[in-house]
Amino acid sequence: MRASDFGEGGSYKAQGLVTEDIEAYLEQHRHKSMLRFITCGSVDDGKSTLIGRLLYDSKMIFEDQLAALEADSRKMGTQGQEIGFALLVDGLAAEREQGITIDVAYRFFSTDRRKFIVADTPGHEQYTRNMVTGASTADLAVILIDARKGVLTQTRRHSYLTHLIGIRNIVLAVNKMDLVGYDQARFEAIVTDYRAFAERLGITAFTAIPISGFKGDNITTLSANTPWYSGPALIEHLERVPLDQDRLAQGPLRMAVQWVNRPNLDFRGFAGFVNGGRVRVGDAVRVLPSGKTSTVSRIVTQEGDLEEAVVGQSVTLCLGDEIDCSRGDVITTADAPVEVADQFEATLVWMAEEPMLPGRTYLAKIGASTLPVTITEEKYEINVNTLEHLAGKTLGLNGIAVCNLSFDRAVPFTPYAENGDLGGFILIDRMTSATVGAGMIHFSLRRAHNIHWQSLEVDRDAHAEQKRQAPRIVWFTGLSGAGKSTIANLVAKRLFVLGKHVFLLDGAAAVLVGSADFGRASGLKPRARVRAFASIGSEPAIMLTGPMSCTERLLKRAGMQIGDIDLFEVNEAFASVVMSYMRHFDLPHDKVNVAGGAIALGHPLGATGAMLLGTVLDEMERRDLNTAVITLCAAAGMATATLIERV
């Protein structure tokens, strides 16, 4: 911006056209682009002060407002005799008394190049839902950081939320530079710290500007106090940043039908807001979810017919064919339709005092449709401060979680990252009609349609003929501890002795191994952790000696002695090997194979390791012991050993 564009003190001059030619000014103003942005950050980082400064410098304050502001500043301000710009935005009595922002405040201002709507969002964690509300329509976020304090927890929280909402343009405004002497090193250290966190979120680019909202440095013009800064002033950057609407205009047509316009028998059109792309008369379109196609015969507006409509316009489309189309349907480019599904994974932000309950049915408003939806599963809750995934069954006020949802019918949609209008939704309590949550769709949970029965030539009859026995499945069932596995094992051994082909499948022989985060996110209580693992291939001069060498390697890796281990499971088919193992390590009988050897365990198909692990865990818990070693022989000198530890 030119220095001549501003009056005394750097204040932005009112457009001369206002006094010279009001009609020309209004026409120029009507064709300006509109940028919606939010200010966010931690408490007392100067969000409201920055907005007040923008309003003041852009001459958007009437004289009586300015007089009232000066009086309020002397009475309730925090800047002594100076103007408290935050009071222009913080209008609630509680906000002025506490010096904080509670509710979202929207303010309008403009420059020669662009119009702006700015939302001042609260910094306190308890007002997260207010911040999400303000961010839901924004194209840009100004994240303020107090130069004295640096990146704080709430800074990270708001950065995550802006990224979650899909705001692509980020301005990192390092505020209160006057209080650190306009120190370049301090500014660069904060930018480096923030960039490390932003990369974890997936924020690939942002614009960092050193400012002072109170003094006006680098707000409307570049400040002489920061000669080391060569970037744009804040208002200049806001004027030139590309709008999300520009991105959407390059994509295919997306229009949610809000109303079937039928004023008489001779006219039938479909009114809605163009959510993406553009449409021309004669274009081929597809209506979803029905999938019917037609062509656009007219584009009707209050000001007359158009040849073309673009994203951001509200129009009525008339189609060349009489096809079924109603409120909630989506009209798209014929060869680039949106998806249609009734099952989704989505991120939910909970906004109600009453917690979210999986399995409960709410109303969802998505696009122009309102329909019942059930939260079928809460997959995990997100700790916004650490980005950790946590297990959860309910979701409280301001909580954020990834959930699976089931709509009562298929709806057209796009992933939220592609188009927020067709990928975002709100949840409504069916009893109170209150908005209780907001959601962003990730993707549909498609039911598999590509699975077909494959005809097999080697079937069960062929196997029966080869084995010369009829296939049978015997199910042993009963109460826990009734001896099902013991009896099944005896039957399997007897059938094996009789020369029958038999496999024992024990439903309890399963072990789930995963990370600690996975366990918490899945709501599982871990029983033990793997502390160390070793494998070895020894010279098989003497059969099956590998477990001994492997155990020694395992203990060395863990930094432990043989006496530190409470129990041993030595999986061997030959008792002599176990006896040799016990003699080698001088182990007492009550520490080794407490439930018998591998033959006694039955060698269940594919589950030997699970049986051994389950057996030793049960015994560790029964005796209140802490450590165990499990060995497996893989023949020809090969062996593995695992050290587990109760948690």
Residue list, annotated binding site: 41-48, 120-124, 175-178
Nearest Cα to 315, choosing from 259, 361, 360, 274?
A: 274
As a whole number of angstroms, the distance between CA 54 and CA 57 comes to 5
Question: Hey, which residues does 242 pair with through a beta bridge?
Answer: none
Q: How far is CA 30 from CA 25, 112, 114, 312, in A?
A: 9, 12, 10, 14
| Phi, psi angle pair for 179, to nearest 5° | -85, -10
As a whole number of angstroms, the distance between CA 617 and CA 644 comes to 9
Nearest Cα to 73, choosing from 64, 63, 85, 84?
A: 84
Half-sphere exposure of 366 (CA within 13 A, CB side): 32
As a whole number of angstroms, the distance between CA 271 and CA 102 comes to 37
What secondary structure does DSSP assign to 41-97, as a single string?
ESTTSSHHHHHHHHHHHTT-S-HHHHHHHHHHHHHH-SSTTS--GGGGT--SHHHHH
CA angle (69 as vertex; 65, 70 as ends), nearest 5: 120
The answer to whether the beta carbons of residues 310 and 251 sit under 8 Å apart is: no
Question: Hey, which residues does 172 pair with through a beta bridge?
Answer: 143, 208
- Residue 459's Cβ-count burial label (10 Å; 0-12, 13-18, 19+) is exposed
As a whole number of angstroms, the distance between CA 416 and CA 414 comes to 6
In this structure, the chain runs to a length of 647
| Phi, psi angle pair for 126, to nearest 5° | -70, -10
The answer to whether the beta carbons of residues 191 and 229 sit under 8 Å apart is: no
CB within 8 Å of 540: residues ≥ 6 apart: 546, 636, 637
> Residue 296: in which H helix or E strand, if any?
strand 292-301
As a whole number of angstroms, the distance between CA 612 and CA 564 comes to 20
As a whole number of angstroms, the distance between CA 430 and CA 448 comes to 32
Known binding residues for GTP are: 41-48, 120-124, 175-178
Q: What is the DSSP letter of 10?
A: G
CB within 8 Å of 415: residues ≥ 6 apart: 423, 441, 442, 443
Helix and strand counts by DSSP (H, E) for the chain: 18, 26
As a whole number of angstroms, the distance between CA 66 and CA 268 comes to 52
